[in-house]
Amino acid sequence: MTGVLKGLVEAFLFSHLGILVILISTIEGMVLDVVFYILSSDSRFSIYLASGFSSASNVIVIAPILQLPTITVALMFFSSYTSGIVFGGYLCRQVFKALPPNLSNIS
């Protein structure tokens, strides 16, 4: 649900991806939820893994449209996954650490 809302906000703010941003954000949110469902969402590893895959999922949506070479898609996926770990996982964990203990149980 959060992914859909994020996509709608980006679409109404005239994202360069147009209406496609709703689909991309929805898939990013679903990937995050699936990884958290499979793994425990209260571990550092699951936060990093979920953030990386969520960020990289947009490459899977965009790559078939652009018809890019496989090596280009692989590099895009790797760089997106890495940035998701750093900016999504690490920064998310820092936010959780900044919250009062009763609002966050992430170690």
User: Chain-wide mean pLDDT for the chain?
Assistant: 82
Distance separating alpha carbons of residues 25 and 23, to the nearest angstrom: 6
Please give the residue range of the domain that contains residue 59.
Answer: 2-103
Q: What is the Cα 26 distance to its own chain's centre?
A: 10
The Cα diameter of the chain in Å comes to 48
Our count of domains for the chain comes to 1
For residue range 33-69, what is the model confidence (pLDDT) as tens digits? 888 889 876 788 888 888 899 889 988 888 888 888 9
For residue range 17-29, what is the model confidence (pLDDT) as tens digits? 777 788 888 888 8
Asked whether the predicted pLDDT for residue 106 surpasses 60, the reply is no
- Amino acid 82: pLDDT: 93
Could you give the percent of the chain with pLDDT greater than 90?
Answer: 16
Distance separating alpha carbons of residues 38 and 9, to the nearest angstrom: 28
Neighbours of 26 (CB within 10 A): 20
Average pLDDT rounded to a whole number, residues 84-100 = 81
- Amino acid 18: pLDDT: 75
The pTM is what?
0.74
